[in-house]
Amino acid sequence: MTKSDTFRQEVYRIVSTIPRGKVLTYGDIARMLGRPNAARAVGYINSRNPDAPSVPCHRVVGSDGSLHGYANGGVMAKRALLLKEGVAMVGERVDLAMSRWDGRLAE
């Protein structure tokens, strides 16, 4: 990693790597970047995500699987997308026990 790879660049890269049907939490991404407490920054970056359709930011949820916002349709669109992707949902929350991405393809 170089200084050219800013925090947001890394975030976009990781989010883009999330396989279909799996999700990651803001905290997890922050941790992957070495900033376990930068979950807020991750969320902020996603909110300003200029590549909504390019980056599957809808696969990023809260630490407890709770959905928040989505720059391309809102939470309801996000929920529908996750469901369509095959993500296990519990009410309005994601079943992290089933759909949390371990960092490698699983199935």
Partner DNA sequence: GAGCTGACGCCTG
Partner DNA sequence: CCAGGCGCCAGCT
- Which residue of the set 14, 38, 45, 57 is catalytic? 57
Q: Angle 39-47/7-17 helices, nearest 10 degrees?
A: 80
Taking alpha carbons only, the member of 63, 21, 22 closest to residue 42 is 63
**Binder of DNA out of 13, 17, 54, 68 (CB under 7 A):** 68
Q: Segment 11-30, which members bind DNA (CB under 7 A)?
A: 25-27
**Binder of DNA out of 57, 82, 94, 96 (CB under 7 A):** 57
Q: How far is CA 9 from the centre of its chain?
A: 14
Closest to DNA by CB, 73 or 107: 73
**13 and 54 in contact (C-beta within 8 Å)?**
no
57 is catalytic: yes
Taking alpha carbons only, the member of 79, 78, 62 closest to residue 70 is 78
Tell me the catalytic residues.
57
Q: What is the contact surface with DNA in residues (CB under 7 A)?
A: 6-8, 25-27, 35, 37-49, 52, 57-58, 60, 62-64, 66, 68-72
